[in-house]
Structure 1
Amino acid sequence: AQCCPELRRLEVSGCYNISNEAVFDVVSLCPNLEHLDVSGCSKVTCISLTREASIKLSPLHGKQISIRYLDMTDCFVLEDEGLHTIAAHCTQLTHLYLRRCVRLTDEGLRYLMI
């Protein structure tokens, strides 16, 4: 991520060893990132701008993420709180894919409507 600060699109679909900390590094070092595909990255639980949130869900202190397209298909550990973090801080999202995110509930989807 340090070598590509102008990165706008990243697809790491199926890279099951990708962690929240790796996503944190990319999101924080690539402010122009608009397209992120972490589908099949089963260790990813949220998209955040703080290292604390990348390890455990915590507030992002008002920071916004410029991502417009986010695919989290098959991110089996994504739960409602992770979706809440995404909804609150990825406010420019126009495409969000959550296929087979089996831990999400109706409550999590309500965060997207607020």
Structure 2
Amino acid sequence: MAAMTYVNCSSVPTLFTSSLQFVVTHLPQYITEVESLPSRVKDRLLNLLSKRGLLTDDNISKVIHDRVKVLDLSECDVTDDGLQAITLCKQLRKLDLNAAKENRTSITTRGVQLVAQSCPILQTVYLRRCLNITDDAVISLSQCCRQLMLLNIGGCRQITDASLEALGKHCRMLKSVNFCKTKVTDDGVISLVTGCCKQSLTEIHMNHCIRVTDESVEAVMECCPRISILLFDGCPLITDRSRQALEELSGPQTHMKQVTWTIY
């Protein structure tokens, strides 16, 4: 009797998946046809292209559509021209421009301003280590995107107190903000945590901000009742006074889950 061979059908890619993979591999050849595909197919292509870092200024306008809600460009080499193309995405909720490996210099304030002005319901914006981002970019985001909840501007070395002041003034829903390795001072941190987002803030990353002092830590603990993550290691002006503030101001109702700091 001949032996029976069983095939696990769940491990065999569908024709649709195989076709997508083929198009991704040969994108330049089919870029014109891609532009006319339905949005649900484009969504799958966007996911594959973004994961492989294949979205560029030249092709992004062919793949996106006006109902895109999430766009991850962290692995992709795009410039302000690429950001110009996504301004049609009025329903965009999340934009990830974090520099995945090295610093990113191709994205500037101009590109972020274009997106902020065109995508008013953005809730999550990641700009980690985008070196050419200035306060004007964050000010535009805070003024135009009032639903902003998560913002990462860590490593954006040109950021100053003006960014935190704008966030504190306009972003009532802000929950998490990362401004590590920036030029902010106590004035900026205090403006942020005493602003309209003081009740919503749960997470603050200010590692390696060499100009902040114990006053910033005390202000966070005093003004933000829902804070659960506070990171301020690598801040040389922080002293043991901050540890004391954490002990004194962390009562039985505290939400604190994670704290890191360096005492010099």
Residue 64 of structure 1 and its aligned partner are, at CA, apart by 5.2
**1:1-114 superposed matches below 5 A:** 1-46=116-161, 47-49=164-166, 60=169, 65-75=172-182, 77-89=183-195, 90-91=197-198, 92-114=200-222
Residue 44 of structure 1 and its aligned partner are, at CA, apart by 1.2
| Greater Rg over alpha carbons, structure | 2
* 1:73 and 1:99 in contact (8 A); partners too: yes
Counterpart AA for 1:80: D
Go from structure 1 to structure 2 and tell me whether the alpha carbon gap of 1:13 and 1:64 turns closer, same or farther (over 3 Å shift): closer
Residue 49 of structure 1 and its aligned partner are, at CA, apart by 3.1
Counterpart of 2:92 in structure 1 is: none
Counterpart of 2:61 in structure 1 is: none
Structure with the greater relative contact order (CA < 8 A, sep ≥ 6): 1 or 2? 1
Residue 48 of structure 1 and its aligned partner are, at CA, apart by 3.0
For the residues of structure 2 that align with 1:64 and 1:36, how far apart are their CA atoms? 11
Counterpart AA for 2:203: H
Q: Deviations over 1:65-84 (max 9, x none)?
A: 32101011111x11110110
User: How many residues end up aligned between the 2 structures?
Assistant: 103
Which ranges in structure 1 are unaligned for 5 or more consecutive residues?
51-58
Task: Tell me the secondary structure at the aligned position of residue 70 of structure 1.
Answer: strand
For the residues of structure 2 that align with 1:67 and 1:107, how far apart are their CA atoms? 21
Task: Please identify, of 22-31 and 63-72, the stretch whose mean Cα deviation from structure 2 is larger.
Answer: 63-72
* 1:5 and 1:30 in contact (8 A); partners too: yes
- Normalised to the residue count of structure 1, the TM-score between the two structures is 0.81
Identity of aligned residues (%): 26
Counterpart AA for 2:134: S
* 1:27 and 1:48 in contact (8 A); partners too: no
Task: Tell me the secondary structure at the aligned position of residue 78 of structure 1.
Answer: coil
Moved over 3 A (4+): none
Task: Tell me the secondary structure at the aligned position of residue 177 of structure 2.
Answer: strand
Task: Tell me the secondary structure at the aligned position of residue 10 of structure 1.
Answer: strand
For the residues of structure 2 that align with 1:82 and 1:16, how far apart are their CA atoms? 20
Whichever structure has more helix as a proportion of its residues is: 2
Q: Deviations over 1:54-111 (max 9, x none)?
A: xxxxx94xx5532101011111x11110110111113111011011111111122111
